[in-house]
Amino acid sequence: METRECIKTRRSIRRFTDEPVSDDLLYEVLEAVRWAPSWANTQCWEIIVVKDSSTKDKIASILSPNNPAAKGVKEAPVVLIVCGRTGLAGFKDGVAKTDKGDWYMFDVGIACQNLCLAAHDLGLGTVHVGSLDHKALDELLGLPEDVKSVEVIPLGYPAKEGKAPPRKAIEDFVYFEKYGNKIKA
Amino acid sequence: METRECIKTRRSIRRFTDEPVSDDLLYEVLEAVRWAPSWANTQCWEIIVVKDSSTKDKIASILSPNNPAAKGVKEAPVVLIVCGRTGLAGFKDGVAKTDKGDWYMFDVGIACQNLCLAAHDLGLGTVHVGSLDHKALDELLGLPEDVKSVEVIPLGYPAKEGKAPPRKAIEDFVYFEKYGNKIKA
């Protein structure tokens, strides 16, 4: 699929069929993460691939109550947990380079978007699920102290079309030369 | 360009020709940001479009010393500063939903990747520039207290091919069922 079409037609998919995702497709999706850009090429992302039903059920129970993605996490053939190794992005020789501290959330965001776009390109659905108890998830997955879960992404064939929530117009978030200036320079 | 090809062939571009970027192409790039997914559809991104030479020079001087992107920021026909409005992503009714606090870095990361992929799709080059004095940049752009600059993205026609820094193999960042387990379940 053409890139800008893929960007515009990707939807959050929260219900999946029971059709399995082949390893070939799974690796195509993971390959897209490999090519994400990152702070000084530190590539801080780590991904756990979960297919075990009881682990998926446990993950679903760790999501924030009434999270609309819980059913999708249980029924998707593959659930990806995207994590970030801390202390890499945003640092040089162990010292933070900016007042924002660790940039792992930013670099993992980039990686997750590559993942979701590649999945959509392959006919697979995903949704970003970040509202959950991260401490419980880190423990469930056996993450070491310096690796933190960021989000859960169920991956599978869509059982239901996703809807596009309304977007701001470009004019609502773009300014020219200085903040607040809506007139083109 | 096909999506996965676009993801794999996007490079960090740090030198640009003096060919201007048409408003049509600029709006295509901004349109890709519009379609980024975000926490509860909060769309926290804000973008300043800079074309003024003296502002570009000031931005270049705000980058971390010896930042290899400084020349590119001065010479690119357009410089985009991608910011995040705080207090939206990661929150519900003003209360943080996770122990990670504000998710604006994550959502802005997603938006920036849409931006860079759409640019590459259109034959334009970009580079993510995050190592800089954000406080000075916020002041230069006149950002309100609750909007924070995240990164600077020069946008233009590449003057020089970008090189792909080496990437980890999939096996180096992917685990199965539990952290550390490299054997497929």
Q: Rounded to whole angstroms, how far apart are CA atoms B21 and B156? A: 6
Q: What is the rounded average pLDDT of the residues B5-29?
A: 97
CB neighbour list of residue B114: distance below 8 Å, 6 or more residues apart:
A7, A113, B32, B33, B35, B36
Closest CA to B90 of B105, B78, B77: B105
Which tens digits make up the pLDDT trace of B30-66? 999 999 999 999 999 999 999 999 999 999 999 988 8
Residue B108, CB half-sphere, CA atoms under 13 Å: how many?
30
According to DSSP, the β-strands at B147-156 and B78-85 are antiparallel
In the stretch 6-25 of chain B, residues with CB closer than 8 A to chain A read 6-8, 10, 12, 23
Indicate the helix (H) or strand (E) that contains B154: strand B147-156
Which residue in this structure is represented by tokens 């994550």? Answer: B106
Which chain A residues touch B27 with a CB distance below 8 Å? 170
pLDDT band at B164 (very low <50, low <70, confident <90, very high): very high
Query: Residue A158 forms beta bridges with which residues?
Result: A16
Q: What is the rounded average pLDDT of the residues B148-153?
A: 98
* pLDDT at B185 (0 to 100): 62
* pLDDT at A185 (0 to 100): 62
What does the domain layout of chain A look like in residue ranges?
3-161
* pLDDT at A142 (0 to 100): 98
CATH number of A3-161: 3.40.109.10
SS3 A111: helix
* Cross-chain residue pair B178–A7, CB shorter than 8 Å: no
Q: Which of B33, B134, B167 sits opposite A35 (nearest CB)?
A: B167
Residue A63 contacts residue A73 (beta carbons within 8 Å): yes
Helices then strands, each counted (H, E), chain B: 6, 7
Q: Does A168 touch chain B if contact means CB atoms closer than 8 Å?
A: yes
In a mutational test of the A interface, the residue from B2, B5, B6 whose CB has the highest number of chain A CBs within 10 Å is B6
In the stretch 73-92 of chain B, residues with CB closer than 8 A to chain A read 90
ipTM metric: 0.97
Residue B184 contacts residue B170 (beta carbons within 8 Å): no
Which chain B residues touch A36 with a CB distance below 8 Å? 113
Closest CA to A112 of B38, B150, B42: B38
Q: Give CA separation, B48 vs A19, A93, B45, B80, B81, in Å.
A: 44, 31, 10, 6, 5
Q: Which of B12, B35, B105 sits opposite A8 (nearest CB)?
A: B35
Distance from the A95 Cα atom to the nearest Cα atom in chain B, whole angstroms: 12
Distance from the B184 Cα atom to the nearest Cα atom in chain A, whole angstroms: 9
* pLDDT at B160 (0 to 100): 86
- Tell me what the pLDDT averaged over chain A comes to: 97
* Cross-chain residue pair A36–B90, CB shorter than 8 Å: no
Q: What is the rounded average pLDDT of the residues B120-134?
A: 97
Beta strands in B25-105 (DSSP E): 45-50, 78-85, 91-92, 95-96
Q: Which of A120, A130, A165 sits opposite B98 (nearest CB)?
A: A130
Q: Give CA separation, A176 vs A60, A181, B81, B158, in Å.
A: 44, 5, 10, 23
List of chain A residues with pLDDT < 50: none
Indicate the helix (H) or strand (E) that contains A98: none
Closest CA to A114 of A49, A38, A51, A59: A38
Burial class (CB in 10 A: 0-12, 13-18, 19+), B95: exposed
SS3 B136: helix
* pLDDT at B57 (0 to 100): 97
Q: Which of A48, A112, A178 sits opposite B175 (nearest CB)?
A: A48
Residue A125 contacts residue A16 (beta carbons within 8 Å): yes
Q: Rounded to whole angstroms, how far apart are CA atoms A110 and A129? A: 15
Q: Does B39 touch chain A if contact means CB atoms closer than 8 Å?
A: yes
Closest CA to B102 of B142, B49, B150, B136: B150
* pLDDT at B161 (0 to 100): 85
- Tell me what the pLDDT averaged over chain B comes to: 97
Q: Which residue of A has its CA nearest to B11?
A: A37
Which tens digits make up the pLDDT trace of A72-94? 999 999 999 999 999 999 999 99
Which tens digits make up the pLDDT trace of A125-144? 999 999 999 999 999 999 99
Closest CA to B37 of B101, B98, B106: B106
